[in-house]
């Protein structure tokens, strides 16, 4: 029996004619009644896809909001947590503290790697913050949140890359992978999308990270270092925010990072990739 043709995939929301785009104010989050879960914010082409259910998180009642994160707390929390399991699986693992918002921490990490390793084959700049996943317009952006997002995704990543450049140059070949996000495409598309700009701080930070990637790719063109950005897709890393059943596992997304980290000598540089393919 011949299988029926698969249904044509719906166009991403920003590619649709304006009359087919969902007016932003129809979503309860736009009216301040709740906010979209983290990864729905992180995928501008996801909102108009047919969904089995819509997940919203209510804002906590006044007085029950979580305390703000302490930006100076010891890092890396999750890397440390994963450490014993990785050792058990036979990997040689060392974790070191690194706060990308703190120049002294970046320099200390670079000094330690220089002392202990001598060279660096791969730098994966994975850190990111999404301080404003409930914000739906650049006009409502809290510039302190923009600054915080830029501090980690752009400035900290830039400074760390500079600090580690001697180690990367000392390697026979080296790769830099900047973990980006589809969110940046909202801005890359010129904002003429007929929908609000979601997570403006996070989106702008990732957009500038993509620009940094292109600039570094050009600056390192005559070296054996390739630098690329990767959009890892929607990852089930935040069950507390209601990860979607369709989200990729972290292990699955990591394969795209590994692809960029193991590119051959003739591989691309300075680009943004998803599933190993360039994002226009
Ligand atoms: N989850 C998704 O659906 C999705 C979609 C597109 C792109 N991405 C991108 O993929 C990357 C990983 O996503 P995720 O879901 O795992 O994000 P996440 O849960 O928010 O984790 C962010 C990571 O960044 C680190 N970090 C934050 N601030 C830092 C700082 N000041 N200095 C050093 N490290 C810092 C965190 O370290 P600690 O653990 O120590 O706090 C954590 O390891 C991020 O860049 C994100 O933007 C994710």
Instruction: Report the mean per-residue pLDDT for the chain.
Output: 77
Answer yes or no: is 209 within a domain. Answer: yes
> Phi/psi at 123 (nearest 5 deg)?
-115, 115
Is-contact 52 46, C-beta < 8 A?
no
The per-residue pLDDT for 3 is 43
Mean pLDDT value across residues 173-196: 81
pLDDT higher than threshold 90 for residue 202: yes
The answer to whether position 229 is within a domain reads yes
Q: Is 100 in the pocket of ligand 1 (CB under 6 A)?
A: yes
- pLDDT value at 171 more than 90: yes
pLDDT digits (tens, 9 = 90+) for 116-137: 999 999 999 999 999 998 898 8
Position 12 in a domain: no
Helix axes 103-116, 157-170, angle to 10 degrees: 10
Residue ranges making up the domain that contains 269 = 120-278
- How many angstroms separate the alpha carbon of residue 56 from the centre of ligand 1? 21
Cα–Cα dist 107/245, whole Å: 40
Model pLDDT, residue 83: 84
Higher-confidence position of 261 and 69: 261
Helix-helix angle 200-219:143-150, to 10 degrees: 30
Which pairs count as long-range contacts for 134-140, CB under 8 Å and 24+ apart, including other chains? 134/29, 134/35, 134/36, 134/59, 135/198, 135/199, 135/200, 135/201, 136/24, 136/29, 136/30, 136/196, 136/197, 136/198, 137/196, 137/197, 137/200, 138/197, 138/200, 140/200
- Tokens for 12? 């991403």
List the structure tokens of 73: 């707390």
Task: Kindly tell me if the per-residue pLDDT of 48 is higher than 80.
Answer: no
Q: Rounded to whole angstroms, how far apart are CA atoms 131 and 138?
A: 14
Task: Summarize pLDDT for 94-118 with one digit per residue, the tens.
Answer: 899 999 999 999 999 999 999 999 9
- Is any ligand 1 atom within 6 A of the Cβ of residue 243? no
Q: What is the pLDDT of residue 156?
A: 98
Cis peptide, bond prior to residue 165, ω within 30 of zero: no
- Res. 64 pLDDT band, cuts 50 70 90: very low
Domain membership of residue 181 (yes or no) is yes
* Alpha-carbon span 93 to 135, nearest angstrom: 38
pLDDT above 90 (res 32): no
- Indicate whether residue 128 lines ligand 1 (CB < 6 A): yes
Q: Is the pLDDT higher at 17 or at 274?
A: 274
CATH of the domain at 173: 3.40.50.720
Residue 172: the pLDDT is 97
Residue 268 within a domain? yes
Task: Tell me, yes or no, whether 101 lies in a domain.
Answer: no
User: Which residue's alpha carbon is at the smallest distance from atom 36 of ligand 1?
Assistant: 127
pLDDT of residue 82: 81
Under the banding of pLDDT at 50, 70 and 90, the label for residue 232 is very high
Flag whether pLDDT at 67 surpasses 60. Answer: no
Nearest Cα neighbor of 226 from 129, 161, 150 is 161
- Considering its fold, how many domains does the chain have in total? 1
Of 134, 160, 156, nearest to 145 by C-alpha is 134
User: Residues with Cβ < 8 Å from 185, sequence gap 6 or more?
Assistant: 14, 44, 279
What would the two tokens of residue 120 be?
């660096």
The answer to the question of residue 94 being in a domain is no
Report which ligand 1 atom has the smallest distance to the Cα of 234: 3
Burial 75-88 (b: 16+ CB within 10 A, else e): beeebeeeeeeeee
225: its two tokens: 């270092």
Pocket test for ligand 1, best of 107, 110, 126 (most atoms within 8 A of CB): 126
What pLDDT sits at residue 65? 40
Would 273 be classed as within a structural domain?
Answer: yes
């Amino acid at each position: 029996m011949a299988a029926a043709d698969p249904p044509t995939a719906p166009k991403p929301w920003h590619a649709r004619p304006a009359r087919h785009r969902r007016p932003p104010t129809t979503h309860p989050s736009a009216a301040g009644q709740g906010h979209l879960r983290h990864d729905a914010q992180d995928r501008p082409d996801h909102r108009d896809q047919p969904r089995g259910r819509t997940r919203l998180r209510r804002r906590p009642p006044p007085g029950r909001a979580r305390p703000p994160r302490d930006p100076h707390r010891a890092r890396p929390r999750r890397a440390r947590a994963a450490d014993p399991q990785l050792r058990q699986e036979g990997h040689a693992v060392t974790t070191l503290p690194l706060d990308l918002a703190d120049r002294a921490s970046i320099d200390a990490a670079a000094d330690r790697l220089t002392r202990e390793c001598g060279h660096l084959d791969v730098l994966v700049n994975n850190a990111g913050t999404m301080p404003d996943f409930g914000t739906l317009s650049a006009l409502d952006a809290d510039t302190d949140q923009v600054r915080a997002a830029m501090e980690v995704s752009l400035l900290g990543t830039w400074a760390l890359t500079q600090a580690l450049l001697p180690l990367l140059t000392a390697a026979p070949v080296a790769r830099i992978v900047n973990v980006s996000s589809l969110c940046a495409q909202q801005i890359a598309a010129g904002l003429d999308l007929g929908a609000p700009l979601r997570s403006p701080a996070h989106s702008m930070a990732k957009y500038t990270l993509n620009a940094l990637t292109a600039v570094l790719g050009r600056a390192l063109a005559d070296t054996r270092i390739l630098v690329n950005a990767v959009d890892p897709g929607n990852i089930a890393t935040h069950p507390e925010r209601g990860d979607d059943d369709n989200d990729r596992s972290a292990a699955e997304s990591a394969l795209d990072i590994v692809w960029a980290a193991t590119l051959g000598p003739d591989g691309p540089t300075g680009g943004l990739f998803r599933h190993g393919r360039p994002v226009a």
